[in-house]
Amino acid sequence: MKKFLVVAMLLLCIMSLAAVTIAQDEGYTIAFVPGVNPDPFYITMSTGVNQAAADMGVTVIQQDPERFDVTVSVPIIEALIARGDIDALVTAPNDREQSIPVLQEAHDAGIPVITVDTFIGDGNYADGEVTFPISYIGSDNVQGGFIACSALADQLGEGAQIYIQNVRPGISTTDQREEGCLAAAEARGLEVVRVDYNENSADTAQQQTAAVLQANPEIAGMFATNTFGALGAGTAIQNAGLQGAIEVALFDASEENIGFLNDGIVSLVIAQKPADMGYLGVAMAVAYLDGVGSIPARIGTGYAVITADNVGDPEVARFIYTSNTSDAAPALDSSYNLAFVPGVNPDPFYITMSRGVYAAAARFGINVIQQDPERFDVTVSAPIIEALVARGDIDALVTAPNDREQSIPVLQEAHDAGIPVLTVDTFIGDGNYADGEVTFPLTYIGSDNVQGGYIACSALADQLGEGAQIYIQNVRPGISTTDQREEGCLAAAEARGLVVVRVDYNENSADTAQQQTAAVLQANPEIAGMFATNTFGALGAGTAIQNAGLEGAVEVALFDASEENIGFLNDGIVSLVIAQKPADMGYLGVVAQIANLRGVTSMPARVPTGYAVINAENVGDPDVARFIYTGN
- How far apart are CB 97 and ligand T6T at their closest, in Å? 15
CB of 45 to ligand T6T, least distance (A): 9
- Name the percent of the chain in helix, strand, coil, to the closest 5: 45, 20, 40
Residue type, 39: D
Nearer to ligand T6T, 281 or 356 (CB): 281
Tally of CB atoms within 10 A around 432:
14
Q: Which is nearer to ligand T6T, 99 or 517 (CB)?
A: 99
What is the enclosing helix (H) or strand (E) of 584? helix 582-597
What is d(CA 44, CA 40) in angstroms, rounded to the nearest whole number? 6
- Between 201 and 207, CB nearer to ligand T6T: 201
Q: Which residue is nearest to ligand T6T (CB)?
A: 227
- At closest approach, how far in Å is the CB of 119 from ligand T6T? 10
Instruction: Please give the Cα distance from 344 to 358 (Å, whole number).
Output: 17
Smallest gap from Cβ 404 to ligand T6T, in A, equals: 39
Q: Please answer whether residues 384 and 406 qualify as being in contact, where contact means their C-beta atoms are separated by less than 8 angstroms.
A: no
Helix (H) or strand (E) holding 514: helix 510-523
298-300/88-91 β-pairing:
unpaired
Least distance (Å) between residue 122 CB and ligand T6T:
16
Interacting residues with ligand T6T (CB under 6 A): 35, 39, 41-42, 117-118, 171, 173-174, 226-228, 251-252, 272
C-alpha to C-alpha distance for 452 and 252, rounded to whole angstroms: 41
453 within 8 A of 533, measured Cβ to Cβ: yes
Q: Using CA atoms, how far apart are residues 20 and 537, in angstroms rounded to an integer? A: 27
Give the residue with the Cβ less far from ligand T6T, 87 or 117: 117
Please report how close the Cβ of residue 452 comes to ligand T6T at its closest, in angstroms: 37
Q: Smallest gap, in angstroms, from Cβ of residue 145 to ligand T6T? A: 11
Closer Cβ to ligand T6T, 303 or 568, answer by number:
303
Question: Who contacts 138 (Cβ-Cβ below 8 Å, separation ≥6)?
Answer: 115, 116, 117, 118, 119, 173, 272, 277, 299, 300, 301
CB of 60 to ligand T6T, least distance (A): 19
- Nearest residue (CB) to ligand T6T, 34 versus 401: 34
Instruction: Report how far residue 10's alpha carbon sits from residue 20's, in angstroms, rounded to the nearest whole number.
Output: 16
**Smallest distance, Å, CB 41 to ligand T6T?**
4
Q: Decide: residue 507, CB within 10 A, 0-12 exposed, 13-18 middle, 19+ buried.
A: middle
CB of 202 to ligand T6T, least distance (A): 10
Q: In angstroms, what is the minimal distance from the CB of 129 to ligand T6T? A: 19
The rounded distance, in Å, linking the Cα atoms of 272 and 303 is 5
Q: Are 576 and 552 in contact (CB under 8 A)?
A: no
**DSSP states of 517-573:** HHHHHHH-TTEEEEEE-SHHHHHHHHHHHHHTT-BTTBEEEEE---HHHHHHHHTTS
HEC letters along 209-228: HHHHHHHCCCEEEEEECCHH
Q: Which of 227, 535 has the CB closer to ligand T6T?
A: 227
For ligand T6T, the closer of residues 124 and 370 by Cβ is 124
What values do phi and psi take at 529, rounded to 5?
-150, 155
Query: Residue 41 or residue 358: which is nearer to ligand T6T going by CB?
Result: 41
Give the nearer residue to ligand T6T in terms of CB position, either 174 or 267.
Answer: 174
- Nearer CB in complex with ligand T6T: 21/91: 91
DSSP string spanning 160-173? -EEEEEE--TT-HH
How far apart, in whole angstroms, are the C-alpha atoms of residue 426 and residue 414? Answer: 17
**Shortest distance (Å) from residue 224 CB to ligand T6T:** 10
* Residue closer to ligand T6T, measured from CB, 175 or 483: 175
The Cα–Cα gap between 385 and 590 comes to 17
How many whole angstroms separate alpha carbon 338 and alpha carbon 368?
A: 5
